[in-house]
Structure 1
Amino acid sequence: MKVLAIGATNSTTSINKQLATYAAGLAEGADVEVLDLNDFDMPIYSEQREKSSGVHEHAKRFFSKIGEADAVVISFAEYNGSYTAAYKNIFDWASRINMKVYQGKPVIMLSTSPGPGGAKSVLSTAVESAPFFDAEVRGSLSVPSFYDNFDVEKGELSNIELVEELKSVMRKI
């Protein structure tokens, strides 16, 4: 099974990319591909840009990566209570190819932050809107206080209760 792991931010030190990568690795027998949103940098979406230049090649590649996967694990960073600009832009461009950006794939949606809120606001928004974009959300989990619950050196959750919750969520993929 090919699992696509996405940290929905362009931060080069993304804790959400770390969480998505770890979670995807929990899928039994998974061949994990980790996307770096920095590889999909493109102009801010606008109808005028689309009309003058067409859909950006990076958006086409992003959409194809989802299509090639058997499942998607995405962890959302929260900027001011919402999606990061980098993720939202890529998503907006990809939706111009087809509104069914997730292409009917099973999706696990996660979020984390350094604080106790664990980026729950953006996760809630993502889960609620996912069906409109053809995602089959199989589970979701917010991980609060990332640095208290994740061993960065080992690249894994250190909080046993969260480990068990995440394993339970990942079995649904």
Structure 2
Amino acid sequence: MAAILAFAGSNSSTSINFKLVKHTISLVQSHDIQILNMAEHPFPMYSEDCEKEHGFSNALVKLENDIKKSDGIILSANEHNGNPSAYFKNVLDWLSRLDRNFLEDTKVLLMSASGGRFGGARSLGVLENMLPKFGGEVLATFSLKSFNDNFSDDGILDEDLKSEHQTALNTFLDSLK
């Protein structure tokens, strides 16, 4: 049984990416899953001055420890103007100051959901290139476009997207065996 950490790269209390993460983990069996709601984890904007004056918060150190204890991460990141949100980029900046290789030997299922027709694909591409710089291994990606049309409390509605999501999840889970 693998340890999986699941969270969205959004600090919104109404995050559609967090809804996608919760749906995804509902499909996982026989693994130890820890889910984080990042809306409950505020971090100050990174700056060298802030780091020198205040150091690293307990919440940041706990997040790093949770990541390092995990065999894999299920992550769904939002997109702002074609990039990961400033919030999530900031989290990555803080984590990389604690340990540049904070994702070392960690397998990642990387997803994105968006209300638009591209499903956050540009942000997904940025993160797919960025996470390996911190030691992560992105094993599969999934983009959920037109969230409000393709998702309900029952999960992913579009059969093609549902199949793509399951394939990405299976690829990730198979790597944890």
Q: Are 1:103 and 2:114 counterparts?
A: no
Query: Aligned partner of 2:161: which letter?
Result: L
Structure 1 equivalent of residue 167 of structure 2: 168
Instruction: Name the amino acid aligned to 1:168.
Output: T
Question: In structure 1, how many angstroms separate the alpha carbons of the residues matched to 2:104 and 2:21?
Answer: 19
Q: Quote the Cα distance in structure 2 between the aligned partners of 1:96 and 1:40.
A: 17
Matched, 1:33 2:41: no
Return 5+ residue gaps in structure 2 as ranges.
173-177
Shift of 1:38: 2.4
> How far did residue 42 of structure 1 move?
2.2
Listed as ranges, the gaps of 5+ residues in structure 1 are: none
What residue is the counterpart of 1:14 in the other structure? 15
**Aligned match of 2:158:** 159
Alignment partner, residue 133 of structure 2: 132
In the alignment, the residues of structure 1 paired with residue 136 and residue 76 of structure 2 have an alpha-carbon distance, to the nearest angstrom, of 14
How far is 1:71 from its partner? 1.0
Secondary structure of 1:49's counterpart equals helix
Is the contact made by 2:79 and 2:114 (CA closer than 8 Å) also made in structure 1? yes
SS of structure 2 residue aligned to 1:17: helix
Match in the other structure for 2:147: 146
Whether the 8 Å contact between 2:11 and 2:41 is mirrored in structure 1 is no
Structure 1 length-normalised TM? 0.92
Are residues 1:93 and 2:122 paired? no
Task: Give the C-alpha shift of residue 26 in structure 1.
Answer: 2.5
Determine if contact 2:108/2:137 at 8 Å carries over to the other structure: yes
